[in-house]
Chain A
Amino acid sequence: MAETIGKTGFSRRSFLKMGGLASAALTVVGTGGAAYHAGKDKMSYTGYESFEGEQQTYDRKRFEIDGPAYSPVGKVKRPGSFTDLVFVRVGIFGQKVKEGWTPADGIDALGEPLASWYKEFPDQLELDVQVGTVTMPNAAKDHAKYDDYFALADAYAWGWEDIFAFYPAIPTTPPEESDYTLTHAHPGGGSHDSKIREEPRPFKSPDHAAELIKKVAHRYGATVVGITKLNPDFCYADGLRGAEDQGPYEVPKHWKYAIVVGVPHEWEQVLSNPGHGTSYDGYNRVRNVSARVTGFLKHLGYPSRSHHPPFHYDLIVPPIAVDAGIGQLGRHGFVICPETGSNIRLAVITTNLEMTIDKPIDFGVDHFCKDCKICAEQCPSAAISTAESSEGMEIRGYEHWHINTGKCFNFWMQAMGPLGCRLCLTVCPYSRRNNWLHKIAKDVDINDPTGLVNNALIFMQKSLFEMPDPQEYLRPPDGRFAGYREAPEWLQVTNYLAIDPPNPQIGG
């Protein structure tokens, strides 16, 4: 009788038994609800709104490797800013065409440095000719027909982009001058320049300097921060910003260290690449972080220069980011970082402030990229190599995956919406939000030395998740300007605007 509760005759044992049964059902329902919530939760948009360093979640110490991330395998050659940087190259080439150059004039008539470069990469000349003769005329027609359909995505992207013209200012003097100059903004408008302090404020130690720079960079909005010594091999060989002579130059002596900062793109929009995505949100945010860190350093008396998107660089960023332990280089040429995968936009600040540097990390990306190939299979321009490994792909003395920039750029110009493609960073299985499902998958994969989880995840990615046929990304009639996923509802024009434009993505 001691077990009965009140006058009901319902025993404690029966209560526990029935309660246990009900709990079994309720916990399943509750877990389901929590799981659904996790999938919707905006807090899983890793790093999009920075939480002052709390989004750099991976303990990189566990994955650190000794020694440099890259070792030369041949004669090292610094990249050419007028040739290897596709945007600049195509711009210069387009100007030559405007001035009257035709293929009949021969490569030499293009002048240096284009002539030598195209002789080394003759297939790129054909592709660059195609930009002006086929891709851009087609793009003009497509924009006339379909721009309304992408109106919100365009407007959203331009909202980010339009301040590019104002901040941060492009250096107009050589690094020996501009890196030592502070630009003070006046609250009422205008600005004035002054030299940085002659005696920099001393730090207690390189450890303190690195710690503070990272804390400050996170507070300025960086999702990830890493520090390395600058390898001059990764600085452009020419086109130094602010220098009168745009030819070859010596890397400035005060560019001893590189601080690498990164932020991801917005997580809903990034899935709708190419059509409804944009680079400009990531570009805008990371260049702001980079400019702020530069200002911070200069105010303490340390010369510094920001190298940031879209193409305001005196160096190539990915290998420097790899050196700084931000992540590893993927098959698609982007850095894959543990927190945000390939969805990361980077900038670099060069300075002479002595800081403790980070080590490169290895969390299994090389192995994963060898087996995965999703970016290469999805790339509509076949610009990404499908080779089994990057062995033998020597580029300017270093071995890494080869990207055909000419092919990439032709599709880049063809894609509708706010310019560009970004499909490779979107489809990368590492580019997933930070909810329990993807975090467990990533954690288990990173900690599995056998490679079995790696293979299982790639199999699941390919067999469970839908992916458009690469052809579908192309312009009609070959394709339908498909996005990897549908545009987020807030970028679909028919949801908000009183227009009903033709929709190329329906296909058929």
Chain B
Amino acid sequence: MFSGGFFWMIMGALYVLLGVGAPIWAKDLGLHMTKGKWSLAIVWYLLLLLTVAAPLTALAENEGVAAFRMMMVLVVITAISGAGLARYLMHKPTS
């Protein structure tokens, strides 16, 4: 189910939809996105994917303890960086 050409075709379509939908959200939320801000958002999104993917791969390799420890570390990093990124993106200059 999670491999093969059809799966990655669907995933590709979803990534495109995400790419198209994200600017609309940014506009509606009143975010003044720049290239730098988009880059940061993409990096954070990749970190989120890594937070899900790395522990699950380790888990599937029967490394349950390593998967759990990995997840704990990554969740904390992703949550803190996500909160920081959100503050930065929503910050409106006073002047």
Q: Does A155 contact B (CB under 8 A)?
A: no
Q: Which residues of B contact A463 (CB under 8 A)?
A: 69
* A90 to B21 CA separation, bound complex (whole angstroms): 72
Residues 38-82 of chain B, each 1 if its beta carbon lies under 8 Å from chain A, else 0:
000000010011001110111111110110011000000000000
Q: Which residues of A contact B48 (CB under 8 A)?
A: 28
Residues 17-52 of chain A, each 1 if its beta carbon lies under 8 Å from chain B, else 0:
111111110111011111111111100000000000
| Cβ-Cβ contact count across A and B, 8 Å cutoff | 110
Residues 11-30 of chain B, each 1 if its beta carbon lies under 8 Å from chain A, else 0:
10011011111101100100
Taking the nearest CB of chain B, how far is it from the CB of A336, in angstroms?
Answer: 20
Q: Are B17 and A39 in contact (CB under 8 A)?
A: no
Q: Are B14 and A30 in contact (CB under 8 A)?
A: yes
* A26 to B59 CA separation, bound complex (whole angstroms): 20
User: Are A23 and B57 also in contact (CB < 8 A) when A28-B52, A33-B1 are?
Assistant: no
Q: Are B57 and A38 in contact (CB under 8 A)?
A: yes
Q: Are B18 and A30 in contact (CB under 8 A)?
A: no
Partner of B7, one of A30, A32, A41, A465: A30
Partner of B24, one of A13, A23, A32, A437: A13
* A303 to B71 CA separation, bound complex (whole angstroms): 57
Q: Which residues of A contact B69 (CB under 8 A)?
A: 463-464
User: Are A24 and B18 also in contact (CB < 8 A) when A37-B3, A41-B3 are?
Assistant: yes
Q: Are A39 and B58 in contact (CB under 8 A)?
A: yes
Residue of A nearest to B68 (CB): A464
How many A residues have CB within 8 A of the partner chain? 35
Give the residue among A16, A23, A33, A486 with the most B Cβ atoms within 10 A: A23
Q: Does A231 contact B (CB under 8 A)?
A: no
For chain B, the bracket of interface size reads 35 or more
Q: Are A16 and B65 in contact (CB under 8 A)?
A: no
* A35 to B53 CA separation, bound complex (whole angstroms): 5
Partner of B52, one of A13, A35, A40, A435: A35
Q: Are A465 and B57 in contact (CB under 8 A)?
A: no
Taking the nearest CB of chain A, how far is it from the CB of B77, in angstroms?
Answer: 13
Q: Which residues of A contact B63 (CB under 8 A)?
A: 465-466
Q: Does A218 contact B (CB under 8 A)?
A: no
Q: Which residues of B contact A13 (CB under 8 A)?
A: 24
Q: Which residues of A contact B49 (CB under 8 A)?
A: 27-28, 31
* A83 to B37 CA separation, bound complex (whole angstroms): 67
Q: Does A442 contact B (CB under 8 A)?
A: no
Q: Are B24 and A20 in contact (CB under 8 A)?
A: yes
Q: Does A436 contact B (CB under 8 A)?
A: yes
Q: Are A31 and B52 in contact (CB under 8 A)?
A: yes
Q: Are A435 and B57 in contact (CB under 8 A)?
A: yes
Q: Does B10 contact A (CB under 8 A)?
A: yes
Q: Are B2 and A33 in contact (CB under 8 A)?
A: yes
Q: Are B18 and A27 in contact (CB under 8 A)?
A: yes
User: Are A40 and B60 also in contact (CB < 8 A) when A34-B3, A463-B69, A464-B66 are?
Assistant: yes
Q: Which residues of A contact B18 (CB under 8 A)?
A: 20, 23-24, 27
Q: Does A485 contact B (CB under 8 A)?
A: yes
Give the residue among B7, B20, B48, B57 with the most A Cβ atoms within 10 A: B57
User: Are A436 and B21 also in contact (CB < 8 A) when A28-B49, A41-B3, A485-B62 are?
Assistant: no
Q: Which residues of A contact B11 (CB under 8 A)?
A: 27, 30-31, 34
Q: Which residues of B contact A435 (CB under 8 A)?
A: 57, 61
Q: Are A32 and B14 in contact (CB under 8 A)?
A: no
List, sorted by A's number, 8 A–B pairs whose CB atoms are closer than 8 Å: A19-B20, A20-B24, A24-B21, A34-B11, A35-B57, A36-B57, A37-B3, A437-B53
Q: Which residues of A come within 8 Å of B, CB atoms?
A: 13, 16-24, 26-28, 30-41, 433, 435-437, 463-466, 485-486
- Known pairs A21-B21, A35-B56, A39-B57. 9 more at Cβ < 8 A? A20-B18, A23-B21, A24-B22, A27-B14, A34-B7, A433-B61, A435-B57, A436-B53, A437-B58
